[in-house]
Chains A and B, each alone.
Chain A
Amino acid sequence: MDRRKIEEGVFKGLMIISMLVILSSLVLILAVVIIKGLPAMNLAMITQTPKGGYYLGKEGGILNAIVGSVYLAGGATLLSVLISLPVVLYLNVYAKKGAHLVTFTRFSLDVLWGVPSIVYGAFGFTIMLFFGLRASLLGGIIAVSLLVLPIMCRAMDEVIRMMPKELLEASYSLGATRLETALKVVIRQALPGILTAVLIAFGRGIGDAASVIFTAGFSDSIPYSLFRPAATLPLAIFFQLGTPFPEVQDRAYASAFILTVIILIISVVSRILTRRFTRHVVR
């Protein structure tokens, strides 16, 4: 065997090992969540709010946290889409190519992406204090939006940037304005990428605990108003794991299982939607 073949073999081996590490961690996490959580699962978990003494091992469920999390991540995702789309359309359709503003915006988004979520939580909390808001669903939505905005913007931006510029020229040459081109051509063509960006943002938002500790608070009842505190699944998991009772700790794993299933459902639904709405995309 010559040196180059050995080299090839060694590096291929290393790559396979890395892949196995990743895959096995995923499988292990899922296995732990399922093995420890499934026995603690029951209908009450997903249909009831915590009754008195739930955290001591008595009856109830975490419907408050399920609903709270879905409201919170859903609201934050919606708010972020409303802000991200104009930003990326401006960057890619309106702004002059290579303008300093564009470079600077992309750089800022990259920096914001790296900011830890607890910082957004603290920042959101400071602002809430300033406006005299208490911990509430709205506060949580704003903090989580700040967290997922850079992720969503950059994910959409990358997709739209990859789009052939001739496609835009084709639209312009027919006398279309930039707005018409953005709405009728760019968004349609980038729809699969936009949906993926939304999905990533939702997943990140629903799973984050640090940004909502101060901003959304926690409550044993289902939030019925934007100005009421809302429970979230990550925090519910945290509180349950923090009790000294093994049966309550197992419920934490059941809650983690529920969180995983929610993310799974969202992924599958968005894949189906993507397939339905993207038959016209030019590849």
Chain B
Amino acid sequence: MGFETHISVQDLNVFYRKEHALKNITIDIPDRKVIAIIGPSGCGKTTLLKSFNRLTDSIEGVKVSGKVLVDGENIFDPGAEVTHIRKKMGLLSQNPYPLPMSIYDNVAYGPRIHGLKDKKVLDRIVEHYLKVSSLWEEVKDRLHSPASRISVGQQQRLCLARGLAVEPDIILADEPTSALDPMSSQRIEASFLRLKEEYTIIIVTHILRQAKRLADYLVFLYCGELIEHGPAEEIFRNPKEKMTKEYIKGVIS
């Protein structure tokens, strides 16, 4: 392998009751890049993303086999400490879900549960990450008003700041712009391009143009199977598999 890897998936199978949602997925996710998981809806993109930090746990009737190694530790190992693994990854969901507290407390939530109490340090963290997610200027005068009062686009940037505040190495994003207006989407994309110097960003998207704009590395799933993966440019220019070719051309979707 030519690159270091935080996340390494080996023979991952996920079942929902009878449905075989992910079939024998084996892949190493490269570091410090934007990795886009693409494919038609219902093909297991979100499931794959959720299995990276074991959020599959909360799905009804789910069964998982195989391994997901995060920094060499199998997160599906019964002894694995799940809170520790999740701390390494920030999550952006389709719709922003601010916690039922103030803007400030949303960002401070993560650091606080991990034991940080010093008010001055918290202030600095909140300011820093709100700046990183380019929300600071808009909310600096109302940090203590409810997070639910800001716009959806601002909420998504707040969720980004909240995720970054626990100092993860990886950002998981599940169609993070699908609920946003074009302007807000653009700001999120811009943040990703800035952040990829320091973080591994894994984004699920069904928008091919978004994948083209952002991704360094592509993972193409179809009906729960990993069809093709590799550097984005290569795949877009010269897909090896017929299925990938047709998806990129828009023949299947």
Contact = CB atoms under 8 A, between A and B. Distances in A.
Do A and B originate from a single complex?
yes
B68 interface: no
Contacts of B163: 173-174
A283 B53 contact: no
Contacts of B59: 97
Interface in A143-176: 164-176
Interface string A86-130: 000000000001100000000000000000000000000000000
Contacts of A184: 99, 101, 109, 113
B95 interface: yes
B187 interface: no
A175 B84 contact: yes
B53 A174 contact: no
B60 A97 contact: yes
Contacts of B84: 175
A174 B87 contact: yes
Contacts of A167: 97, 99-100
27 contacts: A97-B61, A98-B61, A165-B58, A166-B93, A169-B55, A169-B93, A170-B93, A170-B159, A170-B162, A172-B55, A172-B58, A172-B86, A173-B53, A173-B55, A173-B89, A173-B172, A174-B162, A175-B83, A175-B84, A175-B86, A176-B83, A176-B110, A177-B83, A180-B113, A184-B113, A281-B146, A282-B98
Given A97-B59, A168-B58, A282-B148, A173 B100 contact: no
Measured as residues with beta carbon below 8 angstroms from the partner, the interface class of chain B is 20 to 34
Contact of A175 (B100, B101, B110): B110
Interface string A261-283: 00000000000000000011111
B86 A280 contact: no
Contacts of B61: 97-98
A174 B110 contact: yes
Given A174-B113, A283-B148, A188 B101 contact: yes
A170 B91 contact: yes
Interface in B64-118: 83-84, 86-87, 89-91, 93, 95, 97-102, 109-110, 113-114
A5 to B, nearest CB: 40
- Describe B's contact surface by its main secondary structure: mixed
Contact of B100 (A98, A177, A180, A185): A185
Interface in A178-203: 180, 184-185, 188-189
Given A175-B113, A188-B101, 4 more contacts: A169-B91, A175-B86, A184-B99, A280-B101
A152 B59 CA distance: 27
A185 B113 contact: no
A253 B2 CA distance: 87
Most B CB atoms within 10 A — which of A164, A167, A172, A280? A280
B147 interface: yes
Contacts of A283: 148
A177 B147 CA distance: 22
B132 to A, nearest CB: 16
A172 B61 CA distance: 19
B87 A166 contact: no
Interface residues of A, number: 26
Contacts of B101: 184, 188, 280
B166 interface: yes
Nearest to A170: B97
Contact of B99 (A98, A170, A177, A279): A170
B55 A174 contact: no
Contact of A173 (B90, B102, B147, B148): B90
> Closest 7 interchain pairs by CB?
A175-B87, A173-B91, A97-B60, A174-B110, A189-B100, A282-B148, A188-B100
Given A180-B113, A280-B102, A174 B86 contact: yes
A282 B96 CA distance: 11
Most B CB atoms within 10 A — which of A170, A172, A173, A184? A173
A280 B166 contact: no
Nearest to A167: B97
Contacts of A164: 97
Contacts of A170: 91, 93, 97, 99, 159, 162
Nearest to A190: B100
Interface string B109-140: 11001100000000000000000000000000
A175 B110 CA distance: 7
Most A CB atoms within 10 A — which of B113, B147, B148? B113
Given A97-B60, A175-B166, A282 B113 contact: no
Contacts of A175: 83-84, 86-87, 110, 113-114, 166
B237 to A, nearest CB: 35
A168 B57 CA distance: 12
A172 B110 CA distance: 10
